[in-house]
Amino acid sequence: MVTLRDYELSDVDRLVCLAGNENVSKFLTESFPCPYTRTDAERWINKGSKQGHLVAKVIEFKGEFVGGIGLQPQGGWKQHMAEVGYWLGEQYWGRGIAPEALAALTETAFSSLGYKKVFAQVLGPNETSMRVLEKCGYRLEGVLEYEVFKSGQFYDVYQYASYRR
Ligand SMILES: CC(C)(COP(=O)(O)OP(=O)(O)OC[C@H]1O[C@@H](n2cnc3c(N)ncnc32)[C@H](O)[C@@H]1OP(=O)(O)O)[C@@H](O)C(=O)NCCC(=O)NCCS
């Protein structure tokens, strides 16, 4: 029921509609725009999502664009690792969609892309995301205290990881 596909230019309106929501962007990296404009969506689809070895996928649920998921490759002595990030439009939360998407992309990261470690950095209050990672077999590696400053607030970062040795 959940599938992953590349972004297409025709996704602009849907992306703006789903991503332009403070509840979605609240615990995401500051590079995720808020508010989310048409220009942001066009820039992401045309350029951002195609950068280097970044993997950027649309999450589809029953054939409908419901969110995004991606892998950011690490460089140098961390080139065996990738950071995973994901989000869903708020109306699609609580249906087990993110765990299905994360399980699929994690498998691709290990089996097809050859990564040995995939990790995620979750801001302290985002227990829902920690639950998603745990459901996909990710383990808490540690807590980086006072690591992020966003919108006037400091956050601890919970780092989760999955390995394939
Ligand atoms: C984090 C996020 C991707 C979770 O995706 P999801 O598909 O809703 O995840 P699930 O359906 O598996 O729910 C995860 C947990 O959320 C809780 N939950 C259940 N229903 C919920 C609802 N209606 N709304 C919010 N949380 C709910 C449950 O505790 C559930 O765990 P359980 O299945 O063990 O009971 C989604 O909330 C989101 O996009 N948030 C904003 C972006 C974000 O924070 N991304 C992660 C950055 S690290």
pLDDT of the residue at 165: 83
Average pLDDT over residues 1-17: 97
- E strand or H helix that includes residue 35: none
pLDDT, one tens digit per residue, over 90-143 is 999 999 999 999 999 999 999 999 999 999 999 999 999 999 999 999 999 999
* DSSP assignment letter at 32: S
Pairwise CA distance, residues 69 & 73, whole Å: 13
CATH number at residue 37: 3.40.630.30
> 128: Cβ–Cβ under 8 A, 6 or more apart, which residues?
93
Which residue's CA is the nearest one to ligand 1's atom 19?
94
Closest CA to 159 of 125, 115, 109, 124: 124
Q: What is the pLDDT of residue 61?
A: 98
The mean of the pLDDT values for the chain is: 97
Instruction: Work out how many domains the chain is built from and give that number.
Output: 1
Averaged pLDDT, 86-93: 98
By residue range, what is the domain housing residue 139?
Answer: 2-163
99 lines ligand 1 (CB under 6 A): yes
Closest C-alpha residue for ligand 1 atom 33: 96
CB atoms within 10 A of CB 160: 22
